[in-house]
Amino acid sequence: MNFQYGRRGSALRAGSKTPQPLPYEEAKKIYDKVIREKIGKGYRPLGETLPAPIGQAGEPRKTGLACELLTAIEFREVAKYILDPAYWLQDKRDGHRRMVEKRANGAIFGINRRGLTAPLPATLHAELTLLDLQTFVLDGEIEEDRLVVFDLLDANGDMRKAPYADRFNRLLLELSRARVPSRRGLEHISTVSTWRTREEKETGLQQLYADKAEGVVFKRAAVAYAAGRSGSHLKFKFTATCSARVRTVNKKRSVGLELLDENGGWVEIGNVSVAVSHEIPQVGSLVEVRYLYATAGRQLYQPVYLGLRTDVGEKECALTQLKFKRDEEDA
């Protein structure tokens, strides 16, 4: 039984549960189980339409909120943080950054990575109204109509000075209290998978790698929230990604890419094919690309087009993002 899944508009990931053919009834049971698992993680069957998003009318506006960013680490450092009891392990989600704020007047709106207001799916917005808080600020990633939350910055008052462990535990409590009208738990809001002890972290790392996750995050449990890249929280990606600008639109559904060097000039980094599930991006658009590594000539090896990026600026499309193959980097 073979299957494919992924974010709408992005390249699909393939998987297989049965290396050999099975009788229909056995295969159908496995198929139904995979469907339940994927729907439970926020995926929806192809062709199922989603309600129109709810958001602020007019141009996005500044909110004054700023995201806390992760610091990248190398593979050789992963074991250090698995062993360190000061750090928790979390799943690095493959969505778009989205904070959600509820103000005292009841208004609820999304906030993107740049601190600008952003629309929220109607189904998600409806569940956010069920949280029993007068004000809140959630921080997480949005995947279609589902919000995966990893931090709580406000819960009827500012919590940013509290240790991360306290904020996350309060988040678990508040989400557990919310119920949809059918008395079931929330369907469009969940917390990120988290492992706390050394043994749990070892298991979590193996599980995420086997599931072909994007990577892992190490959260320092005792620190307060700090906007920007403080170095307290870390990330390691199993595969590399970068944000780049479209340099050219080529024939046969491919585009040329470029990155900004330290002198402010744009450097060509190769081409990437665009799957038929995506629209061809225009010259000057910012896009996200996954790749195996960058060559010594600063060309992406085995790039895969993931989609447009509307939540980053050109300054973030820097050449310093690239991860080079070690033997070429040392050459």
Three-state DSSP class for residue 287:
strand
Give the span between the Cα atoms of 38 and 172, in whole angstroms.
22
What are the tens digits of pLDDT across the range 160-194? Answer: 999 999 999 999 999 999 877 766 789 899 999 99
Q: Which residues contact 181 (CB under 8 A, 6 or more apart)?
A: none
Q: Which CATH architecture has domain 71-237?
A: 2-Layer Sandwich (3.30)
Query: Minimal CA–CA distance to 217: which of 6, 13, 71?
Result: 71
| H/E segment holding residue 205 | helix 198-210
pTM for this entry: 0.72
307 and 43 Cβ atoms separated by less than 8 Å: no
pLDDT top residue among 67 and 182: 67
Residue 253 is predicted with a pLDDT of 92
Which whole number is the average pLDDT over 43-72?
74
Give the span between the Cα atoms of 155 and 60, in whole angstroms.
25
Q: Which residues contact 23 (CB under 8 A, 6 or more apart)?
A: none
Query: Minimal CA–CA distance to 55: which of 13, 92, 109?
Result: 109
Residue 125 is predicted with a pLDDT of 95
Residue 198 is predicted with a pLDDT of 97
The DSSP code sequence of 202-263 is HHHHHHHHHTT-SEEEEEETTPPP-SB--SSSEEEESSEEEEEEEEEEETTTEEEEEEE-TT
Residue 330 is predicted with a pLDDT of 39
Which whole number is the average pLDDT over 81-90?
98
What residue spans define the domains of the chain?
2-40, 71-237, 240-329
Three-state DSSP class for residue 146:
strand
Query: Positive or negative CA dihedral for 87, 91, 94, 96?
Result: negative
| pLDDT classification of 34: cutoffs 50, 70, 90 | confident
Residue 40 is predicted with a pLDDT of 46
The alpha carbon torsion through 25, 27, 29, 30 (nearest 10 deg) reads 170
- The residue behind tokens 């010259």 is 283
| pLDDT classification of 251: cutoffs 50, 70, 90 | confident
Tokens representing residue 199 in the block: 């043994």
Residue 39 is predicted with a pLDDT of 56
Cβ neighbour number for residue 82 with a 10 Å cutoff: 19
What are the tens digits of pLDDT across the range 95-120? Answer: 889 999 999 999 999 999 999 999 99
CATH code for 240-329?
2.40.50.140
Q: Which class for 132: exposed (0-12), middle (13-18), buried (19 or more C-beta within 10 A)?
A: exposed
What are the tens digits of pLDDT across the range 234-244? Answer: 999 998 899 99
Which whole number is the average pLDDT over 284-305?
93
